[in-house]
Chains A and B, each alone.
Chain A
Amino acid sequence: MIQLIWDGLFVGSFYALIALGYSMVYGIIKLLNFAHGDIYMLGAFIGFAVLTSVGGIPASLSIGALLVVMLVSMLLTGTAGVLIERLAYRPLRGAPRLAVLITAVGVSFSLEYGISALAGPNPRAFPIRLEGNVFVLLGARISLPQIILMLIAAMLMVLLNFYVEKTSTGRAMRAISLDRNASLLMGINVNQVISRTFFIGSALAGAAGVMAGAYYGKIDFLMGFIIGLKAFTAAVIGGIGNIKGAMLGGLVLGFVEAFGAEWFGGQWRDVFAFAVLILFLTLRPTGILGQRVTERV
């Protein structure tokens, strides 16, 4: 039982990191950015490229090296996100939403098969493998890398939450997601804020990509596909467009999968996740935290 909770928490924090970008982008431009999972894949491959170009890393340095590589990868995936918005989505601002959605699917394919062309279609072994002692806490087997990765994920989410809740740009992001024209009348440079949103969301996905590479030890050009859908599910569960909802949704999905896999067998894991997606979309499309205040006119 404790083991399941721990597993759910661990996988859930990955989902949450990626769901955040999904949710932020949806909140601000009402686009389901189906290329978002591929940014996660891109982050893993950037980490891979950086690590192989420096050569071998001694095992004792692996955590420090991982953090540096993660930062580089975040910067680059963030920039990639900004470029994608600038080149693919911004020209379609004001176009029917379906057109932008299809473009996002196109961007997703471009990223997947672009990386496949550059790095080859076969899975690659990630140069850093986080090894660590496994110890038992309250009956759950927990490894040191898991704790480190969760701490990193938690720290990133705390930082993001502070940024969105307390800074002027964060306030502008929330304002744009509520009412874009009113935000323009506040003097908010909407293009700039949208760019920053894409940067942050993509950087978080890039960080998750590097973490996944280091944890699972293997990356491939389609690794973002399923996790992108999972992150979308997490965002919907929490209430899409809602930052805290994305974090909560990630954890809930992690638990659902962990318990579902335990009770019904591991092969049902994805079925379980997407069944929850369908349930939420039909019964509560606004998600757990997606309530709206009653508005008076």
Chain B
Amino acid sequence: MAMLEFDNVAVYYGKVQALRGISLTVEEGEIVALLGNNGAGKTTTLSTASGLVKSHSGRVSFNGTDITKAMPWNVVGAGLIHVPEGRRIFSTMTVLENLLLGGYLVKDRALVAKRIATVYELLPLLAERSTQQGGTLSGGEQQMLAIGRALIAGPKMLMLDEPSMGLAPLIVARVMQVISEIRDQGTTVLLVEQNARAALKVTDRAYVIDGGTTTIEGRAVDLLGDSRIIDAYLGA
């Protein structure tokens, strides 16, 4: 059974159709990339899974449960955590408060404290800045905070939207490294990226979305050599 499954999902924004039948699966323990150009429907796909956007038709399921009509807090409660595009850090709140918000649904405070300690170990720069306001961090630091914050919820699966956006190449490499470490510790990952090359280096499989529908699917190693991918997304 797939961990996350989209079955022919369509989404409209008013009269504009954003998704025209997305079908994809992510198996437990996998790290899968979702590639595509601006406006292809990558972010909408993630937002549909997390319940921010309601689908018009089709079905989304997580761990065998239908979450097509679930409220966002129920999706988070089920362990599917969405790290949105642009980090969306609570800018006037401290790093620690941002992390605590990540554990909003975790009633056991000791567990939240333990997870924060684990995140501080994985991302030591957050520990140094725990009392600093989130908005004062650099872009890369904010991205780390957004990922760390999601980890406090104890995710079974993470959906990361453009974690490399606006970051220097060195920082992108570091973010990708953190993402693979998270997968190695047992969290399934769905990674949305415009930076196809960086994404394909760390993922097992990938889907390409074009015009609101999944067009290409394959193993990352194969796609790196696929001429359709090279021409459209990697730049020859």
Residues of chain A whose beta carbon lies under 8 Å from any beta carbon of chain B: 168, 171-172, 174-175, 178-179, 181-190, 292-297
- B73 touches which of A181, A189, A292, A296 (Cβ 8 Å): A189
Give A275 Cβ to nearest chain B Cβ, in Å.
Answer: 30
- A174 touches which of B93, B104, B142 (Cβ 8 Å): B93
Give A61 Cβ to nearest chain B Cβ, in Å.
Answer: 42
Please tell me if B88 contacts chain A, counting CB pairs below 8 Å.
Answer: yes
A182 with B133: CB separation less than 8 A: no
A297 with B166: CB separation less than 8 A: yes
- A184 to B135: give the CA distance in the assembly, Å: 19
B93 with A186: CB separation less than 8 A: no
- A187 touches which of B100, B104, B133 (Cβ 8 Å): B104
User: Contacts of B73 on A, CB cut-off 8 Å?
Assistant: 184, 187-190
Stretch of B75-83, B190-198, B200-208 with 4 or more beta carbons under 8 angstroms from chain A: B75-83
**21 contacts across the A-B interface (CB closer than 8 A):** A168-B104, A171-B104, A172-B104, A175-B93, A178-B91, A178-B93, A182-B84, A182-B88, A182-B90, A183-B101, A185-B72, A185-B76, A186-B105, A187-B77, A187-B153, A188-B73, A293-B91, A293-B133, A293-B135, A296-B138, A297-B139
Give B65 Cβ to nearest chain A Cβ, in Å.
Answer: 16
Give A248 Cβ to nearest chain B Cβ, in Å.
Answer: 17
A172 with B101: CB separation less than 8 A: yes
Given A293-B133, A296-B139, A171:B84 Cβ within 8 A: no
Across the interface, name the chain A residue whose C-beta is closest to B50: A185
B90 with A174: CB separation less than 8 A: yes
Most buried by B among A184, A190, A294: A184
User: Contacts of A174 on B, CB cut-off 8 Å?
Assistant: 90, 93
- A190 to B51: give the CA distance in the assembly, Å: 13
- A128 to B181: give the CA distance in the assembly, Å: 68
- A225 to B86: give the CA distance in the assembly, Å: 43
Please tell me if B131 contacts chain A, counting CB pairs below 8 Å.
Answer: no
Given A184-B73, A185-B50, A185-B72, A293:B92 Cβ within 8 A: yes
Please tell me if B28 contacts chain A, counting CB pairs below 8 Å.
Answer: no
Give A181 Cβ to nearest chain B Cβ, in Å.
Answer: 6
Please tell me if B102 contacts chain A, counting CB pairs below 8 Å.
Answer: yes
Most buried by B among A185, A292, A293, A295: A185
User: Contacts of B153 on A, CB cut-off 8 Å?
Assistant: 186-187
User: Contacts of A183 on B, CB cut-off 8 Å?
Assistant: 101
- A91 to B93: give the CA distance in the assembly, Å: 30
B101 with A184: CB separation less than 8 A: no
Please tell me if B52 contacts chain A, counting CB pairs below 8 Å.
Answer: yes
B72 with A178: CB separation less than 8 A: no
- A190 to B101: give the CA distance in the assembly, Å: 13
Most buried by B among A182, A187, A190: A187
A181 with B52: CB separation less than 8 A: yes
Please tell me if B217 contacts chain A, counting CB pairs below 8 Å.
Answer: no
A294 with B50: CB separation less than 8 A: no
A185 with B91: CB separation less than 8 A: no
